[in-house]
Amino acid sequence: MASIRRSKRESDRLIVAQNQQDSARPIYVLNGPNLNLLGEREPEIYGRESLADIEEAVRAKAREHGWSVVFRQSNREGELVDWIQEARAAAAAVILNAGGYSHTSIALLDAARALSVPLIEVHLSNPFAREPYRRHSFISEAAKGLICGFGASGYLLAVDALAAIVKAKKP
């Protein structure tokens, strides 16, 4: 019985240490192809905010939850895979807007499945109200949730959702 109590206490200490570690870790916000053109490319679909505007708003929202942010964009699939793999050890959570790769990339799906932290998929537009080829996302298969159609605000909703998810994991 004493060994059970001791192992329970050791387990609790590990959980507390992990939670403290999670709150010290940043959230990763990863953006895929063409998102560097936000504000210029099809603003009637994607909005007038630039990616820099979104980054600034995400950093402010994350600070409300005590998080720092690693905010990145790449037009290269392999680089996004590398960053998702990096997040396995470095991030408290991940927000991913894989852009067009959402509909095509098994490599991103496999990387996302390897995460032990929650991932929320974000899309500025509502892909279900657009062309049929946009209505399937491989990323969704590995995501805790999907936020789409709310423009730049979707990123802020994702930060709040991740904060609730991470908080719910704490004892």
* Active site residues per annotation: 46, 123
Q: What DSSP line would sit under the chain, residue for residue?
A: -HHHHHHHHHHHHHHHHHHHHHHHSPEEEEE-TTGGGTTTS-HHHH-S--HHHHHHHHHHHHHHTT--EEEEE-S-HHHHHHHHHHHHHH-SEEEEE-GGGGGT-HHHHHHHHT-SS-EEEEESS-GGGS-GGGS--SGGGT-SEEEESSTTHHHHHHHHHHHHHHHHH--
